[in-house]
Amino acid sequence: MSRTSKAFIFPGQGSQSVGMAKALANQFPQARALLDEVDEALGQKLSALMFEGPQDELTLTANAQPALMAASLAAIRVLEAEAGLDIARDASFVAGHSLGEYSALAAAGSFSVAEAAKLLRLRGKAMQAAAPVGAGAMAALLGIDVEAAHDIARRAAEEAGGVCAVANDNGGGQVVVSGATAAVNRAIDLAKAAGARRSVLLAVSAPFHCSLMQPAAEAMAAALETVEIRPPSVPLVANVLAAEVTDPAAIRRLLVAQATAPVRWRESLIFMADKGVTVFIECGAGKVLAGLVKRVCPAASGISIGTPEDILLYKALG
């Protein structure tokens, strides 16, 4: 495959599961070393929580975010050692879904793994603290396109008297709204009336990617000012823009904006496909993003790399 045919993509919250990265760490010393580096950076045996659970503790936002990054970078380190991966040579873009954007930047050399782990720990705590438990919610509207979802969110906010906005445009008729609990519940009712195939509350601890996350955005702005962001070795396709960026100052601004802005994932995939990407390689836990590739860009391939067997598959691609 040519360099311009591949993009490396990194999952976000919801992809975590007990046992993530365990098989990689057991078989490959590079993965074990990466997880040890994250444990040391956080002063916590996060890898033990990833391997053994419990699930409810792993799912806590402050744990899930650095854990998902660790699983993603463990896969990258094994690909580098076993398959000769060089992101700068072998990819045209990196991109990540929400917290996965930090994983993408670490993979492309903008952050060290330790820096990414500490930032994501802070991000998780700040997002959880931004809204009191129960004050906010998120819901998936299935079978509704993003334009209809924007209209539903606007109407829900007006009728319920609270924040409601599109948080994720994932593609394949999957849009997530976020905001005040009453407004999100109203959006579910409006979506059903508009013909949504299904509309359900998500099991999340805070209303991510809406204006209620402004305190988290401010916390990330302060934290990111203390970290050097190096130019990525390949362009990042940013959640906020659904377009490529390489300038460190712009990346810093976009990471702050990302806390309150929607994740434009569908548009990001289309942007990369239009630039010639035909293979999207999801690194880390789960297969969510590879599944979305099939829905949004059916002419492209989506491959998930999270187990030793997946490493063999990647090597077979050449």
Residue pointed to by tokens 């990833």: 50
The CB density around residue 88, as the number of other CB atoms within 10 Å, is 11
Can you name the residues that pair with 171 across neighbouring β-strands? 174
C-beta separation of 288 from 194 below 8 A? no
Q: Find, among 127, 121, 84, 89, the residue nearest to 102 by Cα.
A: 121
Choose, from 98, 103, 199, 205, the residue flagged as catalytic: 98
**How far apart (Å, rounded) are the C-alpha atoms in residues 141 and 8?**
27
Active site residue 209: yes
Of 47, 97, 199, 209, the active-site residue reads 209
> Two tokens at 234?
């390949």
Helix (H, G, I), strand (E, B) or coil at 2: coil
Q: What residues contact 48, with CB distance under 8 A and at least 6 apart?
A: none
CA angle 276, 277, 280 (to 5 degrees): 175
Helix, strand or coil, per DSSP, at residue 170? strand
Are the CB atoms for 305 and 280 separated by under 8 Å?
Answer: no
Q: Is 98 a catalytic residue?
A: yes
Residue 236 DSSP symbol: E
Q: Is the separation of the CB atoms in 157 and 183 below 8 Å?
A: yes
Which single residue is written with the structure tokens 């590879």?
Answer: 290
Q: What separation in angstroms does the CA of 55 have from each of 33, 59, 204, 307?
A: 23, 6, 14, 19
Q: What is the DSSP letter of 110?
A: S
Contact 266, 168 (CB under 8 A): no
Residues marked as catalytic: 98, 209
